[in-house]
Structure 1
Amino acid sequence: MIEQSFLVGGEVPVRRLGFGTAQLTGPGYWGPRGDARDAVAVLRRAVERGVTLIDTADNYGPSLAEELVAEALHPYPEGLLIATKGGVVRTSDSAWHVDGRPERLRAMCEASLRRLRLDTIGLYQLHRLDPAVPMAEQLGALDALRAEGKIRHIGLDTVTAEQVAAATELTEIASVQNRYHLLDRAGESLLRLCEARGIAFLPWFPLGNGTLTTDPVCASVAAAHGATPARIALAWLLHHSPVLCPTPGTGTLAHLDDNLDAAAVRLTAEEMSRLDALG
């Protein structure tokens, strides 16, 4: 039996299959992808389908994705966890830089609170560790915001297992967000650390940015289930580890429904063995 839910930070229950908002913005996460009404419809449909974890970031757009989340879903239904990120400044569709100075992290968090129309951000993730700023100062800034009630839980994005272990010596870490999917298992040691410590692992590019749809093994398993390869790739994540909480994104209702149907797929041991071998 696959566990369909996870307790973020050991206390906030979410359905493991969530929704990510990056694909609601244009190429390079810059500007709108299309009509804002379509994005609003997708977000509302996600929640109607039972999604309780929405993953966004202040630099998607920039700012646009957070604004769309608020437009579509505020006032937020009870039990919906909004996760956003700060620490990256995007200046064009192909240029961005990391800024982890405490004063900048505070300003970014407070701007996200305003755009999302929240008093407290349920999960605030440091989008990148800034190598020019001591980790203790970056996490200290987030700890201060948590003490003020502006964020509830702290997460990290694009980190190593060693960095997560060091971070947990400084503060409580509720989530990590790293690239991980059926064909890319570089984060396996980090995943095992998350399992040991009860940390949610939100894999980004859970569908390999589209590459998984052409894999013949994935396609074969999909055919046996009358499903798409994308649905099978997401189902594999849900079967592979109980801490994996994929948040695939899309700008279309049809693709959204297909992604969310992955929660109902039950892979056999033989199918899991074939899929595991791809990594």
Structure 2
Amino acid sequence: MDGETTFRLGGDLPVRRLGRGTGGLVGPGYWGPRHEDQDRPVALLRRAVERGVTLIDTADNYGPDVAEELVARALHPYPEGLVIATKGGVVRTGPDVWHIAGRPEQLRAMCEASLRRLRVETIDLYQLHRLDPEVPMAEQLGALTELQQAGKIRHIGLDSIGVEELRRAQEIAPIASVQNRYNLLDRGAEELLALCEKRGTAFLPWFPLGNGALTGDAGEALVAVAARHGATTGQIALAWLLHRSPVLLPTPGTGTPAHLDENLGAAHIALTEADLARLDAAA
């Protein structure tokens, strides 16, 4: 069967499970613009939506600010059914240099800034980019809950958390999603994925292509399955995620139209039980 299905984010926002990330639209180390010609990333975002993407995942510190501004420039006014997810709670001060900032007043200010950049009154999914170890979880989630009650955000998500942290968080606030590293070669979050399946929580895997490790010559099994389907290894790695669990919502990012089209083609690859067994054994 086709690996592409829909998922109801937070129980009420239907999205196609293969979304679009925006980290690839900014410069190295998530710093500054990637292209001098900003029409290129704008065209990429529009192409993604034209191809049926209904989930765009971004963050305030991509650039910083650059990715959110590109999303608004490309897609606002947003078409009906398009879900915009962003993140806050991290301050970026240079390429690959960032600091956690989870005090309630910081989170409120970050959310307000994202609302302005995205040109919306409500953010569909606002994800805490990192839990701040210096601030009680209840205070951080309390700030997001207040923003939710004020209509500034619709659903709350968490990024890079553990199983026990998710259990504790869900006792404090409704958590619609988590975003952790997970892919064919990196399955350290299996227990977290199982909990998400049990509770109907979306799981947005970051580095779904292993930061490039799952493209090109990525192992005998992956190459063989790709050849059988006339696909690339990257497409098979994404198709595996779509088959692995109904709560997985990969949002790969890219900076080129060809790679975007390649990624989206993964949704139409029907892996067989034999394919899945071979890939699981290799990983």
Contact 2:28 2:34 (8 Å CA) reproduced: yes
Cα separation, 1, equivalents of 2:56 and 2:139: 27
Indicate the SS of the match to 1:97: strand
The reply on whether 1:256 has 2:260 as its aligned counterpart is yes
Cα separation, 2, equivalents of 1:44 and 1:94: 27
What's the offset of the Cα at 1:3? 5.6
* Overall identity of the aligned pairs, in %: 70
2:194 aligned residue: 192
1:220 aligned residue: 224
Cα separation, 1, equivalents of 2:258 and 2:97: 32
What's the offset of the Cα at 1:225? 0.7
Cα separation, 2, equivalents of 1:27 and 1:49: 27
Pairing partner for 1:268 from 265, 272, 278: 272
Q: Which residue identity is paired with 2:249?
A: C
Q: How does 1:147-162 map to 2 (within 5 A)?
A: 147-162=149-164
Q: How does 1:16-165 map to 2 (within 5 A)?
A: 16-34=17-35, 35-165=37-167
Indicate the SS of the match to 1:138: helix
The worse-fitting range, judged by mean Cα deviation, of 214-223 and 256-265 is: 214-223
Indicate the SS of the match to 2:282: coil
Cα separation, 2, equivalents of 1:98 and 1:278: 36
Cα separation, 2, equivalents of 1:208 and 1:134: 32
- TM-score (normalizing by structure 1): 0.99
Aligned length: 279
2:171 aligned residue: 169
Q: Show structure 1 runs of 4+ deviating over 4 A.
A: none
Cα separation, 2, equivalents of 1:240 and 1:94: 31
The alignment yields a C-alpha RMSD, in angstroms, of 0.7
* 1:34-80: CA deviation from partner (whole Å, max 9, x where unpaired): 12111001100000010000000000000000000000000000000
Indicate the SS of the match to 2:277: helix
**Which runs of 5 or more structure 2 residues have no equivalent in the other structure?**
none
Q: Which residue identity is paired with 1:109?
A: C
* 1:103-132: CA deviation from partner (whole Å, max 9, x where unpaired): 000000000000000000000000000000
